[in-house]
Structure 1
């Protein structure tokens, strides 16, 4: 398959697969239990496969020093003031030391890389993700995680503009918001920013097999 690069050098970028979204016992901005179970299971299978193919797995995790880092975002302040908004807990989401910042059990391996300074939807903002990718010659990103319609979409659009090839396994992303927003985000991605396919299709790609 033509991904627009001379030779695919891929990494998996798992975004916010942490307890703050996916463990209902501690989550401050939770996805539904059904969504959490489904996305964790799909990512576990993909990550396990990627490691067998010598494809690096990178965990991008949101963590804030304090609420002031969150309050700097004007729109997020409005979400915190709306008691009916599913993102109303944004001002106390994943502060350093909270259990929400932990990667969901079963997803992290000692061989993986971690970028735990993510503070905005776009994983490239105020992190060393680009340095990590460029220093290891990565030109193709397999982007997974939550939420499809915010962090996934924002990171994918940025990655496209930075000239990475982008693949999104549709069953490895999901959202705490309405299913229609998940579908709309995937439509936006496949239209203008990257390739959307199932994780089974990703794992069958000959371009991603270890030499």
Structure 2
């Protein structure tokens, strides 16, 4: 951490979107909420503010349901089984529900994602290379889904990663804790308070 260059560092915010977190969003309407997830924006914000002040990058990856004919979203079969409540307009590009929660805006770079990993069939790697980013501070949801998949894909691309252990969450405490333990074998870890203090 002592040689961390903030200008070459990005806070990668995975899927902290209105449709996931806001009571009026897709998951909120369906009663799919979690206090641990709801607490994330306030916890992550000091890290974002500290990194912005040091010239670093804020990158938001946003889960996306691409509208097809008639506006009906293209949904993978496994996701349709898990989340049958998803409907037309949810996670639609440009819509309010698709956006990064206001508490963490603005992001310097925004990447639409269609799968767990933010690197899968996206321009994320290209953007990070062009921006000169070498280190990713990773936060968001869910720990055992988008966060884990994205962090592992960053690792195989030789990007240095720091997982914010209390800056990500899952719908199960057990899943969160087990995933943090597993990821700590390939990534540095820090709490949000520790990371904000080090950046300051």
For residues 55-78 of structure 1, give each alpha carbon's deviation from its aligned partner in whole angstroms, at most 9, with x where no partner exists.
11111111222268744x4xxx14
Given the alignment, which residue of 178, 192, 195 partners 1:199?
A: 192
Structure-2 change in CA distance of 1:13 and 1:130 (3 Å): same
Write the distance in 1 (CA, Å) between the matches of 2:99 and 2:110: 12
- Map of 1:187 onto structure 2: 181
Structure-2 change in CA distance of 1:51 and 1:79 (3 Å): closer
Structure-2 change in CA distance of 1:80 and 1:156 (3 Å): same
Q: What is the count of residue pairs matched by the alignment? A: 193
- Map of 1:49 onto structure 2: 50
Structure-2 change in CA distance of 1:91 and 1:186 (3 Å): farther
Does the 8 Å contact 1:64/1:70 carry over to 2?
yes
Partner SS state of residue 39, structure 2? helix
Partner SS state of residue 117, structure 2? coil
RMSD (Å) for aligned C-alpha atoms: 2.5
Write the distance in 1 (CA, Å) between the matches of 2:143 and 2:167: 10
Write the distance in 2 (CA, Å) between the matches of 1:97 and 1:57: 19
Structure-2 change in CA distance of 1:187 and 1:135 (3 Å): same
Does the 8 Å contact 1:117/1:126 carry over to 2?
no
- Map of 2:80 onto structure 1: 80
- Is 2:138 the counterpart of 1:154? no
Partner SS state of residue 51, structure 1? helix
Write the distance in 2 (CA, Å) between the matches of 1:199 and 1:20: 24
Does the 8 Å contact 1:22/1:31 carry over to 2?
no
**Structure 1: gaps spanning 5 or more residues:** none
- Map of 2:25 onto structure 1: 26
- Between 1:91-100 and 1:125-134, the stretch displaced more is 91-100
Q: TM-score, normalising length from structure 2?
A: 0.84
Structure-2 change in CA distance of 1:50 and 1:195 (3 Å): same
Structure-2 change in CA distance of 1:172 and 1:31 (3 Å): farther
**Structure 2: gaps spanning 5 or more residues:** none
Write the distance in 2 (CA, Å) between the matches of 1:143 and 1:132: 16
Write the distance in 2 (CA, Å) between the matches of 1:88 and 1:159: 30
Structure-2 change in CA distance of 1:43 and 1:91 (3 Å): same
Q: TM-score, normalising length from structure 1?
A: 0.80
Structure-2 change in CA distance of 1:69 and 1:134 (3 Å): farther
Structure-2 change in CA distance of 1:17 and 1:70 (3 Å): same
- Report the CA distance between 1:203 and its aligned residue: 2.3
